[in-house]
Amino acid sequence: MPYLLLLPALVPVVVGLGYPLVRQLVLSFQEYGLAQQFGRPAEWVGLDNYTTLLTDPYVWTVIARSVAFCLVNAALTMVVGMALAVLMARVGRAARMVLQVCLLLAWGTPVLATMTVWQWLFDSQYGVINWLLAEPLGLEAMRGHSWIIEPLSFYFVATVIVVWMSVPFVVLTVYAGLLQVPTETMEAAQLDGANAWQRFRRITLPMVRPVLSVVLLLQVIWDLRVFTQIHVLQRAGAPTRETHLLGTYIYSLADTFSMAGAMATIMLVLTLALTTFYIRRMLREEGDL
């Protein structure tokens, strides 16, 4: 009976997620391009698409670049998010409400609208960032500096934008976890002589670890498949080949569906490899419960 009751929810999930995944996997083993869209039968090529991709040094460069970008952004997002969550738990009600409203506005703003604002902030001629660096701080070399031409500064801008848009989710989720920490336990530890850092490290962190594990898992997945922010910055004038991540590189292969499907499958395997540890850990914790 429990499985029968779950069936109405499982069927749309399997159809909505399972079919595109199976279709993508099948396409990755075929030669499917523009000709096939006009009726030519797709030719089965086996592992040729994967061989072509995995023997291309540029593909490995994109993978390494994407993994590095993902780990750096996930780490920064978690650190900043946890710090703001702790701050939110300690400030007064009025300050907490203002902070929550600001976070919700930042999180709820459409991505393209947010990108328009950030592009203006980092604009080489009229951007506020260049003006602040050149005028008040006296860094004349930053006057008229283009942030998206050089790959290093491009990824700096992308990191700032991605972290800024991801932090609200981490803050609100971790803050909800902090509310579950019993105040009696914290007061007892304080009476026993534990300072604020010891209480946070020995009591708070272990109690919110399941929440942190889930948030970190989601953050790694989201940061690995980031697309919109990179694509918009590339269209603003950045060199695409030097700034491609997995999402934008797969998009660039869209004219050959089979290659794009193979690259998307490689990305899926990579995502599973990066998140296996956290998935196993969460399953083990659920088993212990």
Nearest to 278 by CA among 79, 84, 74: 74
The band of 287, judged by pLDDT with boundaries at 50, 70 and 90, is low
The band of 286, judged by pLDDT with boundaries at 50, 70 and 90, is low
Nearest to 151 by CA among 253, 233, 60: 233
How far is CA 159 from each of CA 31, 79, 154, rounded to the nearest angstrom? 36, 14, 9
- The domain 56-288 having CATH identifier 3.30.910.10: the answer here is no
Look at residue 285 in the predicted model and tell me its pLDDT: 66
Read off the pLDDT of residues 188-240 as tens digits, 9 standing for 90 and up: 877 777 777 878 888 888 888 888 888 888 898 888 889 888 999 888 888 88
Bridge partners, residue 43, by sequence: 31
Query: Does the pLDDT at position 80 exceed 80?
Result: yes
Burial class (CB in 10 A: 0-12, 13-18, 19+), 44: exposed
As a whole number, mean pLDDT of residues 132-145 equals 76
pTM of the entire predicted model = 0.84
- Long-range (24+ apart) CB contacts under 8 A made by 182-190 are none
Query: Does the pLDDT at position 288 exceed 70?
Result: no
The band of 58, judged by pLDDT with boundaries at 50, 70 and 90, is very high
Each domain of the chain, given as residue ranges in start order, spans: 1-46, 56-288
Cα–Cα distance measured from residue 283 to residue 171, given in angstroms and rounded to the nearest whole number: 24
The band of 114, judged by pLDDT with boundaries at 50, 70 and 90, is confident
Query: Does the pLDDT at position 289 exceed 60?
Result: no
As a whole number, mean pLDDT of residues 258-263 equals 87
Look at residue 79 in the predicted model and tell me its pLDDT: 93
